[in-house]
Amino acid sequence: MQERDLLPGVTVAGSEPKVVCHSRAIVTRARRLALLRDLSQLLLVAVVDWLFLYWTSARIPVLSRESSLIVVLAFNAAVATHIYLVRNLPHWTARRIASTWCAAERKRFVTTAPSRARR
């Protein structure tokens, strides 16, 4: 028995998407702004760390100095975790979604996506 197409003119091979806009400049600018934001956050954390380490009377008002240093350490870990997750969660999500694609779509995604090493 012959297979019939669901709709006239529909082929098995997919069609290439039409380019609506060139987003390379927008993506580059967004990456630069994200890098600037990350560096400013890390600079702020470094300044607060320096303040707590070299100014011995610096502490959170309701806590002792040792407890204040533990809170600062936890804050540093939270900021580092935030920066790491904000950069990697979209990549993990894209991989998870791409795992549901057929082999042809995966091949096209792998061959057209820029490698992370070139960024």
Percent of the chain scoring above 90 in pLDDT: 23
**74 inside domain:** yes
Q: How much is the average pLDDT of 27-56?
A: 90
Q: Residue 119 has what pLDDT?
A: 47
Spatial contact of 83 and 38, defined as CB atoms under 8 Å apart: yes
**100 inside domain:** yes
Q: Residue 81 has what pLDDT?
A: 93
**94 inside domain:** yes
Tally of structural domains, the chain: 1
**19 inside domain:** no
Spatial contact of 76 and 45, defined as CB atoms under 8 Å apart: yes
**Residue 85 structural domain:** 24-118
User: Residue 60 pLDDT > 50, yes or no?
Assistant: yes
CB-based burial, 50-81: b 16+ in 10 Å, e otherwise: eebeeeeeebeeeeeeeebbeebeeeeeebee
**6 inside domain:** no
Over residues 79-118, the pLDDT tens digits come to 999 989 988 888 888 878 877 877 777 777 666 555 555 4
Spatial contact of 81 and 119, defined as CB atoms under 8 Å apart: no
